[in-house]
Structure 1
């Protein structure tokens, strides 16, 4: 078995830290900007990447999807701070807020929530998924085909 060398980092929101204020939604004082993400060590056969942001602690019974992006070219090894909702170099699905692209944390008051940013290495150049369709289709295509994935997790808590 080979050592997993596929890794992801973020200057804005490093693994294990609190989500940076700029990543939060506006009504929590944020700018609703996706964090910068940089990855390396993708496995052989990677032809594209996908990125997801998931909150497993949302009180929905099934978590909350904040971002689903795919068809990121295999030559790409990073995304900048603040990926636009209509970025032409990738596809972005409609998140659980009902918006295309990234929407940051907005947990209810209570215990901390975990936010898991994952980069998925895929063996296809395109998922062939309609970004206007339910994001479960993109997530199914991502998770059922991924060659490898790497994640970082940050947290955020509203205390009032």
Structure 2
């Protein structure tokens, strides 16, 4: 009877600990879940007239074992058959928990972080620019990785970067925003 009580108490304690642990979370003062992207996060080119400014992003409650982070921005609705990669930042130090607005263009990314060439062909943030009349989703994701650094070639494709990110991900958190013109 005592053993049963001890086991039930230990089980209840374990459940309570798991339930009270906070989830890995991504937040921003620039973008919001389900919200429309502002003109600052719209591409300048391809018929779009935006600021092409990367948003501020902050994350919290990284899981134990996190050795680095990666940030991606992906449009699954682009009429390409494979979506559109707007931004890939890898090798962000585990001591970093945010990226400032405009960091992509101003050179203020965290030390050691590297940008992968986006589908516009630039190693930078590329804003939203869906075809006229279409609403597209833009998925901003931070990944907690179990490796110190992703060993990617300088000219890595977004598919290769995505594979390496997901293969080493411990957890992820996202914000999905929308845009149409």
Match of 2:77 among 48, 54, 57: 57
Q: C-alpha offsets along residues 8-31 of structure 1, whole Å, 9 cap, x if unaligned?
A: 011111111001111111243321
Indicate the SS of the match to 1:147.
strand
Match of 2:130 among 92, 107, 111: 107
Tell me the residue number matched to 1:40. 60
Counterpart-to-counterpart distance in 2, 1:63 and 1:50:
19
Give the structure with higher Rg (CA).
2
Runs of 4+ in 1 over 6 A off after TM superposition: none
Indicate the SS of the match to 2:40.
helix
- Return 5+ residue gaps in structure 2 as ranges: 1-14
Indicate the SS of the match to 2:90.
strand
Tell me the residue number matched to 2:86. 66
Counterpart-to-counterpart distance in 1, 2:92 and 2:33:
22
Match of 2:99 among 54, 68, 79: 79
The alignment yields a C-alpha RMSD, in angstroms, of: 1.5
1:91 and 1:131 in contact (8 A); partners too: no
Output the TM-score relative to the length of structure 2: 0.82
Counterpart-to-counterpart distance in 1, 2:92 and 2:173:
15
1:47 and 1:122 in contact (8 A); partners too: yes
Indicate the SS of the match to 1:142.
helix
Counterpart-to-counterpart distance in 1, 2:112 and 2:130:
30
Output the TM-score relative to the length of structure 1: 0.92
